[in-house]
A = this chain, B = another copy of it.
Amino acid sequence: MAKQKKQPRPKAETPKGFRDYFGAEVTERNRMLAQIAEVYDRYGFDPLETSAVETVEALGKFLPDVDRPNEGVFAFQEDGGAEDGTWLALRYDMTAPLARVAAQFRNDLPNPYRRYTMGPVWRNEKPGPGRFRQFYQCDADTVGAASVAADAEICAMLADTLEAVGIPRGDYIVRVNNRKVLNGVLEVAGLAGEDSEVARGIALRAIDKLDKVGADGVRQLLGEGRLDESGDFTKGANLAEEQKDVVMAFIGGRHVEIEFGRPKLTTFNQSGREVTTINNLSSLVKGSRVGEDGVAELEAISELLDAQGYGPDRIVIDPSVVRGLGYYTGPVYEAELTFEITDEKGRPRQFGSVAGGGRYDDLVKRFTGQEVPATGISIGVDRLLAALRAKGRLSGTTEGPVVVTVMDRDRMADYQAMASELRAAGIRAEVYLGNPKNFGNQLKYADKRHSPVAVIQGSDEAAAGKVQLKDLILGAKLAEDATLEEWKSQPAQTEVDRADLVAGVKALLDRHR
């Protein structure tokens, strides 16, 4: 370590855009992941865990921000940058690694292959408030199933999952659309050919931004472009007026449809699923083969969900859903939490999207040259946790351990034996391991640990074969409100025989359970 001393001290800082998770933040997330895994498992999905690192070649470039195609990932060269070192990168999502696995193990995996996976992904993006460069995704995908039954199943599973983690029915909605319908609308607007690829992309992103920029903003983006408040100019799709009209009609219809998706709607078929959306879409895409295919697929999904009892209180068809990623080829879906929360500035706002996905029939083909249909969902676990916390459905704290205090430094072995006995009885317990000189510090420590009970044994008690038990929860309650008669009648500190340590602690813990 001699060399270290000569260097300047390193800064003790989490890298920009990353954060640490403590205590209940970790256990609550793990519990949620386990709840989600249970639902995925029941649907027949098998777990898969790929490594965090993939070759840059295998990952491909599918991040939404096409304006900066080389950015967005953390990439590095193996073997410390040797010329022949392979370029590697941290995965930015779970779909690209799945496509690689599906291609690599295509002869061994069941076909269709239903898999789920959960873990962090990384984005080399500018971090912002609440926007991190590492976050959890929890994905389920079906590879090798061309039928839209696979898409319907994923939507149903998504609804089940949200309820399993504690979002009650009515507080969420799964919205389904189809890229083919969007492409159909663009075809009707005259944007079908390969030479319109760039304009199509801009138009899709413009539709996706409706919530942010409003109808006027979208129209600007469909035309020459849009200057935002900060002075940044976004280039537009340069459509002609009549082309814009087609797209805007679609968007206009959409706003009605969002209303339609809500329970207050009245235009349902026998099964309770709204039918007007499908009819509206049919007329909008008339003449476009791909658009009509898309509408037919949406209809099939709708029927399959009806048969399983998933009504429009859980899953709706919504033509406004676009999904940012470029690789979707068919149905796309999105789960949104519909309750209001209060934002940082105290204003109420809808919580918004917590999951999304869709069909991507070309991703495996990148590797094999053969078409492999695939569809799947990604749940943003950190956003879901934030939602449950905002609603007060997660406590954010865990009960601390029983703290065995140290009155007599030389009798550490006795104190350890006490903690050991408590643990053997299934009670979370620890000995105070700091400097025991100041007893007040030990109780402050127990407070900070949310400890329910402190065990105290000085030399007098030891000689008499006794221990003192201090009920810290009761103590805190008494300190908070001195008039709590019901609590005052109970002693906050009791003495028990050393032999009755476990029973005595259990009795105090039971008081508060």
A52 in contact with B55 given A43-B430, A308-B416 (CB within 8 Å)? no
A433–B149 touching, CB < 8 Å = yes
A366–B434 touching, CB < 8 Å = no
B47–A112 touching, CB < 8 Å = no
Copies of this chain per assembly: 2
Cβ 8 A contact of A53, one of B47, B110, B134: B134
Closest to A17 in B: B78
Closest CB-CB distance, A357 to chain B, in whole Å?
16
Say yes or no: is A468 at the interface (Cβ < 8 Å to chain B). no
A13 in contact with B104 given A76-B75, A420-B156 (CB within 8 Å)? yes
Cβ 8 A contact of A46, one of B22, B79, B104, B133: B22
Across-interface contacts of A133 in B (CB, < 8 A): 51, 53
A15 in contact with B78 given A51-B134, A144-B434, A362-B1 (CB within 8 Å)? yes
Say yes or no: is A54 at the interface (Cβ < 8 Å to chain B). yes
A15 in contact with B53 given A10-B60, A366-B9 (CB within 8 Å)? yes
Contact with B along A183-208 (1 / 0, CB 8 A): 00000000000100100000000000
A44 in contact with B428 given A11-B367, A367-B12 (CB within 8 Å)? yes
Say yes or no: is A401 at the interface (Cβ < 8 Å to chain B). yes
Of A44, A48, A149, A194, the most chain B CB neighbours within 10 A belong to: A44
Cβ 8 A contact of A152, one of B304, B366, B416: B416
Say yes or no: is A150 at the interface (Cβ < 8 Å to chain B). yes
Say yes or no: is A412 at the interface (Cβ < 8 Å to chain B). yes
Interface residues contributed by chain A, number (CB under 8 Å): 113
Of A47, A152, A426, A429, the most chain B CB neighbours within 10 A belong to: A47
Main SS at interface, chain A? mixed
Closest to A432 in B: B112
A11–B55 touching, CB < 8 Å = yes
CA A255 – CA B4 in complex, angstroms?
35
CA A269 – CA B78 in complex, angstroms?
54
Cβ 8 A contact of A15, one of B16, B88, B304, B423: B88
Closest CB-CB distance, A486 to chain B, in whole Å?
30
B14–A51 touching, CB < 8 Å = yes
B13–A416 touching, CB < 8 Å = no
Closest to A58 in B: B10
Closest CB-CB distance, A32 to chain B, in whole Å?
14
Across-interface contacts of A78 in B (CB, < 8 A): 15-16, 74, 124
CA A150 – CA B398 in complex, angstroms?
23
Say yes or no: is A369 at the interface (Cβ < 8 Å to chain B). yes
Closest CB-CB distance, A42 to chain B, in whole Å?
5
CA A27 – CA B4 in complex, angstroms?
42
Contact with B along A389-422 (1 / 0, CB 8 A): 0000000001011010000000011101100100
Closest CB-CB distance, A304 to chain B, in whole Å?
5
B368–A12 touching, CB < 8 Å = yes
A1–B58 touching, CB < 8 Å = no
Q: Can you list 17 residue pairs at the A/B interface with Cβ under 8 Å?
A: A4-B362, A9-B369, A11-B367, A12-B368, A14-B104, A16-B86, A23-B47, A30-B47, A42-B423, A42-B427, A44-B401, A52-B134, A90-B90, A111-B445, A112-B432, A304-B413, A307-B416
By Cβ-Cβ distance, the 8 closest A-B pairs, closest first, are A44-B430, A307-B413, A12-B103, A145-B433, A44-B401, A26-B47, A76-B76, A18-B51
Given A20-B48, A25-B49: 16 more A-B contacts, CB < 8 Å: A2-B197, A15-B51, A15-B54, A15-B78, A22-B48, A23-B48, A26-B48, A30-B47, A42-B423, A42-B428, A52-B134, A78-B124, A80-B124, A114-B430, A146-B435, A156-B420
